[in-house]
Amino acid sequence: MPADPIDVLFVVLPDTLLLDLAGPAEAFRLANQHLRWRGQPEAFRLRYVGPQAEVRTSVGAHLTGIEPLPPVISAHVWVVLLGRLGTMSDVAWRLPVWLETRNWLAANLGPALQGQGGATRLLTICVGALMAADAGLIGRHRVTTHHELLNDLARMAPAAQVLGQRAFVDDGTLLSSAGITAGIDLALYAIAGHCGAAVAAAVAQTMVVFARRGPQADQISPLLAWRDHMHPALHRVQDAVCEHPEHLWNAAALARVALVTPRHLNRLFREQTGISPRDYVERVRLALAEQALAQGAPVTRSAELAGFSSPRQLRRARSRA
């Protein structure tokens, strides 16, 4: 992660869907919290910007203290465009706040997305994708939005590859989601990419949500997989293994973390995840080794970082996988 936190700019307009804002914002806040608990610096600085200092949200609650739209977007900024109440004919083209925000995006975010090596990103939730299209920011990207708006998005961004039946889509500097709870999935995915899968899994556990598979992955990362349960003992074990894969994770050590007997832990793992504790440890270590290898680390170093005793043990694990 860069030394300075990323500025996450939530663009707040009148009638913003409150959950589109609050869900992802809580995910980023919790990521900072878990990083502090690990003795690491916070990764995100949350800001709320828009053309009006006070707005009424979709549920009637008012938000105040909204910053003006900044005249310059610097590097390491993520701009989040949120969903809003109403049909496209209600929210777009006719409203001054929509037009002002659209023009600001075109003039400031467009050049930033092109010129900073991917440090600046655009995240859209629900109708936010249509605002991005109206500002000319979609281009030929792969993109999604709420299922009721897919045809509108295709008309507004004819060169784009509009994907339906997707919770969210990652296409480089543009990350788009279907809306509401999918905005939380998108935030967890972005957190995992920036802070690591272990932090994202911890956030998902705190929020009591299931971390969905990444949109471009062939399979769920082992650091995020087998988390679709609510058992605190298993979460403690999974957190410990992901954070310290180099430990000697035999049955007794895992059971001490879970505060149960080794036999009971094995039964819980098979009931809740379908695999054994030993298999889980090996798959996490293998995923970490593969990441290290992909980043250019030698086999011996990759095995060491992942917690394998030797390259030979790593090769055996890969063979079993």
Query: 147 or 25: which carries more pLDDT confidence?
Result: 25
For position 274, which CATH number holds? 1.10.10.60
Alpha carbon distance 78, 31 (integer Å): 15
Is residue 16 in some structural domain?
Answer: yes
Q: What's the whole-number mean pLDDT along residues 177-184?
A: 89
Pairing of strands 44-49, 6-11: parallel
Look at residue 217 in the predicted model and tell me its pLDDT.
41
Alpha carbon distance 310, 283 (integer Å): 16
**Residue spans of beta strands (DSSP E) within the chain:** 6-11, 44-49, 55-56, 62-63, 77-81, 121-125, 142-143, 161-162, 168-171, 174-177
Q: What's the whole-number mean pLDDT along residues 221-244?
A: 83
Phi, psi of 213, deg, nearest 5: -65, 150
Number of Cβ within 10 Å of residue 312's Cβ equals: 11
- Tens-digit pLDDT profile for residues 58-115: 999 999 999 999 999 888 899 999 998 866 666 665 688 989 999 999 999 988 888 6
Number of Cβ within 10 Å of residue 147's Cβ equals: 12
Number of Cβ within 10 Å of residue 229's Cβ equals: 16
Q: Is the pLDDT of residue 230 over 90?
A: no
Kindly state whether residues 190 and 285 are assigned to the same domain: no
Q: How far is CA 255 from CA 123, 161, 249, 265, 279, in A?
A: 41, 48, 9, 6, 15
**Banded pLDDT at 218 (limits 50, 70, 90):** very low
Look at residue 315 in the predicted model and tell me its pLDDT.
92
Kindly state whether residues 165 and 253 are assigned to the same domain: no
Is residue 215 in some structural domain?
Answer: no
Kindly state whether residues 33 and 84 are assigned to the same domain: yes
Secondary structure element (H or E) that encloses residue 242, with its range = helix 232-243
Kindly state whether residues 166 and 48 are assigned to the same domain: yes
Is residue 65 in some structural domain?
Answer: yes
Look at residue 117 in the predicted model and tell me its pLDDT.
65
Count of structural domains, the chain: 2
Look at residue 92 in the predicted model and tell me its pLDDT.
63
Q: Is the pLDDT of residue 196 over 90?
A: no
Kindly state whether residues 201 and 276 are assigned to the same domain: no
Look at residue 220 in the predicted model and tell me its pLDDT.
54
Number of Cβ within 10 Å of residue 172's Cβ equals: 11
Is residue 313 in some structural domain?
Answer: yes
Is residue 225 in some structural domain?
Answer: no
Name the least confident of 115-124, 146-155, 210-219, 231-240: 210-219
Give the global pTM.
Answer: 0.76
Residue range(s) defining the domain that contains residue 275: 232-320
Secondary structure element (H or E) that encloses residue 168, with its range = strand 168-171
Boundary residue ending a domain (174, 207, 240): 207
For position 59, which CATH number holds? 3.40.50.880
